[in-house]
Amino acid sequence: MPNIKSAKKRVLVGADHHERNMAQRSEMKSFLKKATSSITAGDLETAKSDLTNAIKTLDANATKGLIHKNQAARRKSRLTKKLNAIAK
């Protein structure tokens, strides 16, 4: 444990940031799983709305630096390909 006051504060602030980041990552994963499950179920309208929500959270997390922008783009691309495959 740090002895300096500012170092103690940084530990507390870092813990707060960690909790917030983990909550946002969990929310993102939930949206991705929901979109994937609705795509595999074949429900086109639900899949489209779930995909929109997943893309929004991916973009937001990439903007915040929670995930890399290329990772967000890759995940969006893969989900969109899956949706287009069932739409045909």
* Per-residue pLDDT in tens (0 to 9) along the chain, 88 residues: 899 999 999 999 999 999 999 999 999 999 999 999 999 999 899 999 999 999 999 999 999 999 999 999 999 999 999 999 998 7
Distances (CA, A) of 70 to 18, 23, 27, 58, 74: 22, 21, 19, 11, 6
> Which pLDDT does position 83 carry in this prediction?
96
**For position 19, what pLDDT does the model report?**
97
CATH superfamily placement of domain 5-87: Ribosomal protein S20 (1.20.58.110)
Task: Please state the domain extents for the chain.
Answer: 5-87
Whole-number pLDDT of residue 1: 82
**Residue whose pair of structure tokens reads 């290329």 in the numeric block:** 70
Report the pLDDT value the prediction gives residue 61, as an integer from 0 to 100.
Answer: 97
